[in-house]
Amino acid sequence: MAAASSPSPQPGVTGGEAGGWSNRFEQGLHPAIERFNASIGFDILLLQQDLDGSIAHARMLGRCGVISQDESARLIEGLETVRQEAAAGQFRPGLEAEDVHFAVERRLIELLGPLGKKLHTGRSRNDQVGTDLRLWLRQQIDQIDAALLRLERALLEQAERHADTLIPGYTHLQRAQPVCLAHHLLAYIEMAERDRARLADVRGRVNICPLGAAALAGTPVPIDRRQTAAELGFEALYANSLDAVSDRDFAVEFMAAASLVLVHLSRLSEEVILWASEEFGFVALTDRCATGSSLMPQKKNPDVPELVRGKSGRVFGHLMGLLTMIKGLPLAYNKDFQEDKEALFDGVATVHGCLEAMAILFEEGLQFRPERLEAAVASDFSNATDVADYLVARGVPFREAYQLVGGLVKRCLQEGVLLRDLPLDRWQELHPAFDADIHAAIQPRQVVAARRSEGGTGFDQVAAQLQRVRTRLDA
């Protein structure tokens, strides 16, 4: 019986060739699998970082004598040519390149011939992609930090403009106590500062170099990892090669920090949406940051904060996706890691876009309505605590004062009057400690001014906080 003949090669996108793989492979990938496997459609975003890392690697190979200095210089020149071609729109690798790393290497071989094949000496795509991703994310963290600063400045300018404006303070979305509007806005600046601190902390762990770990076990090639790390601006090296190529903690940490950025933006967005409603009426939206209705001509919609509130879910989803991706992976590199990039790319873009939009909203998209705010704080019972405090200052135990005022508020609600409307004799019927100065003590401005404890909403405290923030942001 005749021996079965070998199957004829089935062409894939590579035309039946094994692409960048070794001679172990005889055929190209199935076209559908090639499309499924390729990442060039999105990891081309890492092109500049791939070129930077490859240039540092080529320079190190020359200095270590792995290749000649002339070969090193020519490799660097070829890589810079690829950079120039990309800038001119002439470097457009297709699906056959599979990923940005192969795309650069193939183009280098086209430019330099056999010399281009020496670039990959002493490294693997596993440590290469880890390096590229860290270089890219490090830069993005710096840009997000700048965007957070811009938002802080926009909030600060509004706060300085409204250092004497009052706004109802809420707990459980019920009127609680009046506060200074600047104090309210400064709370979001504090959140943004925590975001910046978290991102700076994450940046330290992003800024560790995996290059030189090779596929998973290091390399016998006499490379100098510290030289490439220093040239690329890394602060440290991974101490374990297995960990170097399989670590994606930094990606998860970044997305967790990014999620908190979006939590804070979403909370601020929700407040703006409420404030802009007819029921609140605390702000008016300018035409620069609002849209209308295709049906109802009177509408002015707060699309910016609504979109930010909605987009927060995308970033939260990416965090859960990254955690799920890595939770069951054995050491070391696994193809699953290809899924980190689209999550990071979209997460970073979403954070950038939301921060920019919210900064613009507070720079020129809304106007507070002080007269509406003043009317709001003057027409409720948010000064009830100050009545109790008045009695406490005159020796009445707080819990006793608390019960007395609670009963008084109940009667006022039944009668349809406010505390400010009660005559002195009604106050003195409640407790003889009340005197004529009770009316001044429960005026909204006095209520706010009296809260002089450190970090409180008192005008003096807010002025000091505004000065501290201004000094910090101008530094």
Q: Do residues 376 and 382 touch, judged by C-beta distance below 8 A?
A: no
CA distance 318 to 122: 33
Residue 388 token pair: 């109790």
Residue 336 token pair: 């699953």
Q: Region 16-34: what's the mean pLDDT?
A: 71
CA distance 88 to 169: 55
What pLDDT score does 18 carry? 45
Higher-confidence residue: 289 or 216? 216
Q: Region 42-60: what's the mean pLDDT?
A: 98
Q: Kindly state the percentage of the chain with pLDDT values over 90.
A: 90
DSSP 3-state helix, strand, coil percentages of the chain (rounded to 5)?
A: 65, 5, 30
How many CA within 13 A on the CB side of residue 424?
9
How open is the CA angle 78-82-84, to the nearest 5 degrees?
Answer: 110
pLDDT at position 26 over 90: no
What pLDDT score does 19 carry? 53
- pLDDT tens sequence across 331-359: 999 999 999 999 999 999 999 999 999 99
What pLDDT score does 6 carry? 42
Q: Region 241-256: what's the mean pLDDT?
A: 98
- pLDDT tens sequence across 166-220: 999 999 999 999 999 999 999 999 999 999 999 999 999 999 999 999 999 999 9
What pLDDT score does 20 carry? 57
Q: Kindly state the percentage of the chain with pLDDT values over 70.
A: 95
Going along the chain from its start, the domains and CATH numbers come out as: 35-118 (1.10.275.10), 125-218+236-375 (1.20.200.10), 377-466 (1.10.40.30)
Q: Which amino acid is at 333?
A: Y
What pLDDT score does 298 carry? 83
CA distance 129 to 102: 11
What pLDDT score does 3 carry? 43
- Residue 22's pLDDT band, with cuts at 50, 70 and 90, is low
pLDDT at position 5 over 60: no
- pLDDT tens sequence across 293-319: 888 888 899 999 999 999 999 999 999
- pLDDT tens sequence across 416-462: 999 999 999 999 999 999 999 999 999 999 999 999 999 999 999 99
What pLDDT score does 299 carry? 86
- pLDDT tens sequence across 365-417: 999 999 999 999 999 999 999 999 999 999 999 999 999 999 999 999 999 99
- pLDDT tens sequence across 101-123: 999 999 999 999 999 999 999 99
pLDDT at position 13 over 60: no
Strand duo 208-209 + 236-237: pairing: parallel
What pLDDT score does 440 carry? 97
- Residue 4's pLDDT band, with cuts at 50, 70 and 90, is very low
What pLDDT score does 151 carry? 98
CA distance 44 to 263: 30
What pLDDT score does 213 carry? 98
Which residues are tagged catalytic?
A: 172, 293
What pLDDT score does 29 carry? 85
Instruction: Quickly list DSSP for 264-293.
Output: HHHHHHHHHHHHTSTTT--EEE-GGG-B--
Residues 6+ apart with CB under 8 A from 403: none
Q: Do residues 208 and 237 touch, judged by C-beta distance below 8 A?
A: yes
What pLDDT score does 28 carry? 79
pLDDT at position 230 over 60: yes
pLDDT at position 14 over 90: no
- Tell whether omega for the bond before 332 is within 30 degrees of 0, i.e. cis: yes
Q: What is the pTM of this model?
A: 0.93
